[in-house]
Structure 1
Amino acid sequence: MDYKTVMVSLALDRPNDACLAVAGDVAERFGARVIGVAASDIRPTLYFAEGDFAQKLLDEEASAIRKRLSELEAEFRRAVEKRATSVEWRSAQALSGPYMLQQARAADLIVVGARSEAIVDVGIAADPGDLLMQAGRPLIVVPSTAQWLDLRSVLVAWKDVREARRAVFDALPLLAAAKDVTIAAIPEKQSDRADVLAEVADVAAWLRGHGIVASTVVPEKTKDTIEQLDKAAADIDAGVVIAGAYGHSRLREWILSGVTRHLATESRRCAFLSR
């Protein structure tokens, strides 16, 4: 299994260099095509605007959106056209988040920039949290500091739940391409360590069946999970962390777990996330 179609989500409000670099790396490594996606919608006019003046404001904003989307298309093509087997551009005057979710059906893998804010303005950028929970495709969430997809050392953040099993399976092409793979699991209680050691041994054996050699790490002392995970990633100088995306829906809002939120917003490393 390889990634044949990579989709990259471009934001209108910040640089997209890191996402485009990572999307280009994936395309080059796996011989994939790349689809660039961006969207933005007109905001409601000010409450005191009406008639011809209101229409003028709407027309000006629509023109600005078209101009920005055209600029993003040019940026996208410059960055990936020579690295992908083919490229395609999709854009619309629409809310970025819902539009991106619609386009996800065409992708094997989605590349999106990390967003640190609690509430993302879906009029100008897709929310990685929404994509994680609703797109039905694995994501590579890219911090703004990333310059490439560093597969020299990859960390699998293991937890014996469906989401982690799905993530490891979806990440098989990346794991096969990685130079070193480490599976780390953080026991919730000291008494759980023997069971966790057996779990990661099973995962390592399963990966060996796919031609991937992986080492395992299970801390002897239980501490804060995020702190332990960051330490495990730092110890091996991981370029990518692979993890299941955990969360649930509360009314119409997606609530991510602490670890998932950390990987999608605060990590200095690329995060491959799937559910």
Structure 2
Amino acid sequence: MSYASIMVSVDPGLHVPSRVRLGAGVAERLGARLVGVAACQPNYPRGYGETSVSSALNLEKIRQAALDDLAAAERVFREAANGRDRVEWRSGLTDALGFVEEQARAADLVIVGRRGTDGGPDHGMAVDAGAALMGLGRPVLVAPQGVEAVEARHVLIGWKDTPQTRRAVSDAMPFLKRAKSVQVVSVTEREDGGGVEDVAAYLALHDVIAHPIRRRTPGVSVAEDLREAASYFGSDLIVTGGYGHGRLREWAFGGVTRDLLGQCNACCLMSH
């Protein structure tokens, strides 16, 4: 497997240029196309009298404001992409998450931001990482604020013997094949460690040298154990499954997924 098309979600947040530069760096290393996507829903007031001339003029101003926001997002994207070849821009006057879900059909990997307290205004254009993970049908790389590159020379796999994690390992293969070291970490009370040796042997068949690591007793939390292991091994990429369920776009996640989405300083590649 390879990545031929990498998509990055763009919004007016303060850290978006870093996210685009991260995506551009990955695209350049892998010889992939870089696609920037953004959408903005015009903030039309409810119950507006659209039959009058003045109402129509006001509606057009609202629509133009949304177009201006999209134009500004495109400028940020193209400037951060720094004139690289094979760059494409897609935007729409619609719901941001729905638009990215639609456009994800043209991507192998989608990069979104991890929200924080200093991200700046988003004008409704920011895509929630958890919602993207659950709805895109593509692997999602969650970039922390301010992180401009993911070298992925040292990669940590947070292993749990589930379909989601198996899918994540397969989806991450372009990174794993180029990594200098890969650690497969299982935090479980199972005697077999959830099959970490099997995973390492499977990766060896793909010319990925991986080292199985079993931890029988978790510390504060599994997510904290993974973060500590990533720091110890110098891993700037954590690969794991994403777990959750949704109802009416209100997503509820298990503890590990929730904690990694909310607090991890390393990039996380997740599949659902």
Q: What's the TM-score, normalizing by structure 1?
A: 0.89
**Structure-2 residue corresponding to 1:208:** 204
Q: Could you tell me which amino acid in structure 2 is paired with residue 219 of structure 1?
A: R
Once residues 98 and 274 of structure 1 are traced to their aligned partners in structure 2, the CA distance between those partners, rounded to angstroms, is 18
Contact 2:12 2:123 in 1 (8 A): no
Cα shift readout 1:210-229 (whole Å, capped 9, x = no counterpart) = 00101122224333212211
| Structure 2 residue 135 is the aligned partner of structure 1 residue 134 | yes
**Structure-2 residue corresponding to 1:6:** 6
Contact 2:12 2:122 in 1 (8 A): no
**Structure-2 residue corresponding to 1:104:** 104
Contact 2:200 2:210 in 1 (8 A): yes
Cα shift readout 1:172-210 (whole Å, capped 9, x = no counterpart) = 0100111111111111x3xx2x211x6110000000000
What is the CA distance between 1:11 and its match in structure 2? 1.5
Cα shift readout 1:130-189 (whole Å, capped 9, x = no counterpart) = 2111111001110112120121211100000000000000100100111111111111x3
Once residues 114 and 53 of structure 2 are traced to their aligned partners in structure 1, the CA distance between those partners, rounded to angstroms, is 40
SS in structure 1 of the partner of residue 203 of structure 2:
helix
Once residues 84 and 207 of structure 2 are traced to their aligned partners in structure 1, the CA distance between those partners, rounded to angstroms, is 27
Once residues 40 and 111 of structure 1 are traced to their aligned partners in structure 2, the CA distance between those partners, rounded to angstroms, is 18
Residues 1-275 of structure 1 aligned to structure 2 (within 5 Å): 1-45=1-45, 54-80=55-81, 82-84=83-85, 86-116=86-116, 123-187=124-188, 189=189, 192=190, 194-196=191-193, 199-223=195-219, 224-275=221-272
Query: 5+ unaligned residues in a row in structure 1: which ranges?
Result: none
What is the CA distance between 1:59 and its match in structure 2? 2.7
What is the CA distance between 1:30 and its match in structure 2? 0.9
Contact 1:45 1:57 in 2 (8 A): no
SS in structure 2 of the partner of residue 222 of structure 1:
coil
SS in structure 2 of the partner of residue 221 of structure 1:
coil
RMSD: 2.3
SS in structure 2 of the partner of residue 195 of structure 1:
coil
Number of aligned residue pairs: 267
SS in structure 1 of the partner of residue 195 of structure 2:
helix
Deviates most, 68-77 or 127-136 = 68-77
Deviates most, 18-27 or 55-64 = 55-64
What is the CA distance between 1:244 and its match in structure 2? 0.6
Once residues 109 and 227 of structure 1 are traced to their aligned partners in structure 2, the CA distance between those partners, rounded to angstroms, is 26
Contact 2:44 2:62 in 1 (8 A): no
What is the CA distance between 1:44 and its match in structure 2? 3.6
SS in structure 2 of the partner of residue 149 of structure 1:
coil
Q: Could you tell me which amino acid in structure 2 is paired with residue 131 of structure 1?
A: A
Cα shift readout 1:56-111 (whole Å, capped 9, x = no counterpart) = 54333322221221122122222226444x11111111111111111111111101
Q: What's the TM-score, normalizing by structure 2?
A: 0.90
Shift in alpha-carbon separation, 1:217–1:163, aligned structure 2, 3 A = same
Q: Could you tell me which amino acid in structure 1 is paired with residue 4 of structure 2?
A: K
Shift in alpha-carbon separation, 1:13–1:56, aligned structure 2, 3 A = farther
Q: Could you tell me which amino acid in structure 2 is paired with residue 31 of structure 1?
A: G
Contact 1:27 1:83 in 2 (8 A): no
Q: Could you tell me which amino acid in structure 2 is paired with residue 222 of structure 1?
A: P
Once residues 94 and 179 of structure 2 are traced to their aligned partners in structure 1, the CA distance between those partners, rounded to angstroms, is 38
Paired-residue identity, % = 37
Query: 5+ unaligned residues in a row in structure 2: which ranges?
Result: none
SS in structure 1 of the partner of residue 231 of structure 2:
helix
Once residues 82 and 53 of structure 1 are traced to their aligned partners in structure 2, the CA distance between those partners, rounded to angstroms, is 42
Q: Could you tell me which amino acid in structure 2 is paired with residue 253 of structure 1?
A: E
